[in-house]
Chains A and B, each alone.
Chain A
Amino acid sequence: MTHLIRELQKREEKLFHCVHCGFCLPACPTYTRLGDEADSPRGRLHFMRAIVEGRLEPDSPAVTRHLDRCLGCRACESVCPSGVEYGQLLEGAREVVARAGGASFLTRLLPAVMGRPVLLRPAMLLARIVRGTGILDRAVRRLSGEGWSGQVRLGLGMMAATSPPRLLSRSMSPNELLGPEEKMDAEMPGETMGHGTRAAVFKGCVQEGLLGRVNHATARVLNANGFKVVDVPGQGCCGAVHAHTGGLKGARELARRNIRAFERAGAGVVAVNAAGCGATMKEYPHLLGDDPEYGTRARDLAARVRDISEILGTADVRVGGRLPMRVTYDAPCHLLHAQRISAQPLAMLESVPGLELVPLRGHEECCGGAGVYGITHPELGGRIGKDKVRAIVSTGAQAVATGNPGCMMQIGAGLRMAGVAVDVVHPVELLDESYRRGGLYR
């Protein structure tokens, strides 16, 4: 235990940046709902400081409970005038809590599966088969929302939420990133933003397993914009879930694997369509800061990582066909707060002709997804999730766009449980659909 506390102590300087001003309180979804300082960013930082100062034991139930209850949404970072790097401090503290035995079974199971392709692939295949039977939606309708059954229902709803949206056409190439029938228009516009740059698509674990269609859309849209999309074998889970649940060692292992894979591919740009993965990969230099062999290589990869909206949310993006849809946008925390990307996804959506973008109240607040938060914290996660669903419904949108698989699943599950027929899509899917309708693909 003491070496872990030392780990936190190394971050002490960062803890001391907190001047206790309290500006972060109103931004925190757990504080605004519970009203308890212990569930606020300032309170959680205070716990960490008390541990470092030796006034609290890291396995104190109070510390465990309140750190565990943090969504990791990092909304507190966006409003902190003092620049406290809460996310990084939390990772360190979570490791301390996990070692002290405070992490739940699920929080330990998930990273174990996600980091291991031998376990992940069959699990995802099974999930796809079950999803195909339509049994999930029926179960979500039948199961009660109370107690254990409610947690199971949410889990099934999250899986069901990965089904293709009803409003978009279904054309998929199952295994390759670019099937022959989906090659872009032979007629390239004079100037494309890509200029033939080699671009790799980071596939992710859940994204590739359950939302492969988003990866395909990403590749097609990049290709249509003049990028040469290259396949990168050997890539895998980014390690976010590991890092967030206190498994820093596992996270580092996965980071090294990805660094090797992308180095071999030699891509100028690594396009990421999962905000959580993008945030983690941009923070590889921090994760591997002390690694003599990988430190610089991590910086090199991080410098090439771009969220897909950073690439496409510009004036140069190609314009597709009309897509007359009423759409609202929910900002993934790991895009807005961790990567500080706010305007580009909107610009991307606004570039679609005919698409009506309606603002979402509370779009900057966490949807309650945060990995499997809804399952580990059913009551609080449920409240946060319901607030999000209510806001979405009040926009009257046909679809809600958000650029992160966890958020797509959480919001999709929430909508299903509320019996609301609103599609959940990734912004890049809308661009893709508009390209298809505009005849940009052949």
Chain B
Amino acid sequence: MDGNDLTEPLPLQLLRDLQAAVGTDWIFSDPDRMVVYETDAQTAHSQAPHAVVLPATTEEASEVVHALHGHGILMIPRGAGTGLSGGAVALRGGVVVGTSRMTGILEVDHENRRALVQCGVLNNDLNAAVAPYGLHYAPDPSSQSACTIGGNVAENSGGPHCLKYGVTSRYVTALRVVLPDGRVTWLGGQGREQGAFDLAGLFVGSEGCFGLATEVEVALLPLPEAARTLLVIFETIEDAGRAVTAIISRGLLPAALEIVDRNTIRAVEASIFAAGYPTDAGAALVVEFDGVEAGLERHAEEAARCCLDAGAREVRHAESDQERMALWKGRKKAFGAMGRLAPDLLVQDATVPRSRLPGVLARISEIARRYDLQVANVFHAGDGNLHPNLVYDRRDPEEGRRVEQASAEIMKVCVEAGGTITGEHGVGVDKRKYMHLVFSPAELEILRGVKQVFDPMGLCNPGKVLPDGQEAP
């Protein structure tokens, strides 16, 4: 099936069923209003849905999905819409099931360091709720002030500190899920981590294609006792890349290693989150160590030496918690600040083996130069996760085409260097065309099979992740 006819309105009976499930206030289908749901944070892909439904509980969500399934209407889960691969876009019409009302923190079991939350809880809000117990939820996407735990689960999100702590999949212990036909089930759960197939693990990273996760149980960690944060200034981004390689190969384990390049520094420094990065630098590297106080200082010193050996111009130490926060704020808001460089932004997300960083970075600069484009690099350098962002103006179609081509070349370079096409933003609509670069035909077959098990009718977030011959070349 090719999706729901975009010119056909939804069946009246379905609208009545949906209203019965959530109440008249929480379903919208006025076409003008749908315009605001046509994209997520990646504006290149856009299509308004037929309707939006906002259930408040698992039970309501189940009724909604059941009704949609009965009428053969597509279901597209949506969290906060901060996704960067078009995942929450109703590419082929259908009904967006939003989680913005499912914001309950159901349980904080601080003794066992677990929390159970509804899927619409924001990452930051979960952290605020558990901080009084001296705990935190480790995965910290830069969008954590706005993105939902459900979205994090669907994208298996990472963040600056995932270098040391690992990504979402490591912290999700159980999921309550509404399957694409409306049935509700738990996946994983207390005491069931061992043995059998890891179904919760399978669901994490499914990008909304296997159903709607409505409740999420997560493991929490004690807040680190102390931290040391360095800001290191480099003349060139390649030097910064070399410093990262040196720090890791020395056996140091920083909690975070983040690089921002010159263009990014300029954008951030012009924003309200200015963190005092020098605007004439080629790149800045943020290095953070955390954990028990003992040994932190020595690790920080060793990392500083690696940087100086790699040609660093200056090493600054955050002297206070305030300085540390400001420094991080600048990094975490970097993407948003890029609106200052140009109206549109193509956010890339690829990983390469760390040792190949300097070479890949040089190639990216070269590609941008050749296509006469501005590239702004922000990335989780410690795990080789690159975000080369191409800034452009979509009102200039010719520039848009150059961006497309440059972006495809960059992808190729990353894959050739032994990397993959997404680090943390997911495949979504965006990267489907690159899937064959990294997955063998056999793997793609298995992926399709898994999707088939969860969603035999193909009603759940179609047109995402799996190439089906309809993706743009």
Q: Which residues of A contact B (CB under 8 A)?
A: 16-26, 31, 35-38, 40, 42-43, 46-47, 50, 55-56, 60-63, 66, 78-84
Contact = CB atoms under 8 A, between A and B. Distances in A.
B333 A81 contact: yes
B337 A47 contact: no
Interface string B122-155: 1010000000000000000001011100000000
A96 to B, nearest CB: 15
17 contacts: A18-B339, A19-B344, A20-B40, A21-B143, A21-B336, A26-B145, A26-B146, A35-B100, A36-B100, A38-B36, A40-B36, A56-B35, A81-B272, A81-B273, A82-B336, A83-B270, A83-B339
B28 interface: yes
A37 B36 contact: yes
Contacts of B335: 19, 21, 81
Given A18-B339, A20-B41, A46 B36 contact: yes
A390 to B, nearest CB: 18
Given A21-B41, A36-B54, A82 B343 contact: no
A66 B35 CA distance: 12
Nearest to A46: B36
A84 B272 CA distance: 11
A81 B271 contact: yes
Given A26-B145, A83-B271, A62 B340 contact: no
Contacts of A79: 145
Nearest to A82: B339
Contacts of A55: 35
A17 B122 contact: no
Given A35-B100, A38-B33, A83-B271, A25 B339 contact: no
B80 interface: yes
Best-surrounded residue of A20, A21, A23, A60 (most CB of chain B within 10 A): A21
Q: Which of B39, B98, B333: most chain A CB closer than 10 A?
A: B333
Contacts of A37: 36-37, 52, 81, 98
B82 A22 contact: yes
B54 A35 contact: yes
A337 to B, nearest CB: 11
A311 B262 CA distance: 39
Nearest to B393: A16
B339 A17 contact: yes
Interface in B244-282: 270-273
Contact of A38 (B28, B145, B334): B28
Residue from B26, B36, B145, B270 whose CB has the most chain A CB atoms within 10 Å: B36
B225 interface: no
A61 B124 CA distance: 35
B32 A60 contact: yes
B101 interface: yes
Contacts of A19: 41, 335-336, 338-339, 344-345
Contact of B343 (A17, A22, A25, A46): A17
Nearest to B333: A81
Interface in B146-181: 146-147
Interface of B: 26, 28, 30, 32-33, 35-43, 52, 54, 80-82, 98, 100-101, 122, 124, 143, 145-147, 270-273, 333-340, 343-345, 393
A302 B271 CA distance: 23
Given A62-B33, A81-B333, 16 more contacts: A17-B339, A17-B343, A19-B338, A22-B143, A23-B336, A25-B80, A35-B54, A36-B28, A37-B52, A42-B81, A47-B35, A61-B30, A62-B30, A79-B145, A82-B338, A83-B340
A38 B270 CA distance: 29
- Top 8 A-B residue pairs of the complex, sorted by shortest distance between their CB atoms: A81-B336, A82-B339, A35-B100, A16-B343, A81-B333, A62-B32, A43-B36, A19-B339
Contact of B101 (A35, A43, A81): A35
Nearest to A37: B36
B146 A82 contact: no
B272 A83 contact: yes
A62 B33 CA distance: 5
Contact of A23 (B35, B36, B145): B145
B32 A63 contact: yes
A317 to B, nearest CB: 25
B328 to A, nearest CB: 13
A60 B80 CA distance: 25
Given A62-B33, A81-B336, A20 B43 contact: yes
B27 to A, nearest CB: 11
Nearest to B79: A22
A213 to B, nearest CB: 36
A79 B333 CA distance: 10
Nearest to B56: A35
Contacts of A46: 35-36, 38
Nearest to B347: A19
A63 B36 CA distance: 10
Nearest to A57: B32
Contacts of A42: 36, 81
A61 B32 CA distance: 8
Contacts of A61: 30, 32
A84 to B, nearest CB: 7
A18 B39 CA distance: 13
A42 B80 CA distance: 11
Contacts of A26: 122, 124, 145-146
B140 to A, nearest CB: 15
Contact of A22 (B41, B273, B334): B41
Contacts of B33: 38, 62, 66
Nearest to B394: A16
Contacts of B270: 83
A92 to B, nearest CB: 18
Nearest to A44: B36
Contacts of B52: 36-37
Most buried by A among B35, B43, B81, B101: B35
B57 to A, nearest CB: 13
A62 B345 CA distance: 28
Contacts of A56: 32, 35
Contacts of A18: 339
A25 to B, nearest CB: 6
A80 to B, nearest CB: 7
Given A26-B146, A80-B336, A83-B271, A35 B32 contact: no
B114 to A, nearest CB: 24
Contacts of B393: 16
Nearest to B147: A22
Contacts of A24: 146
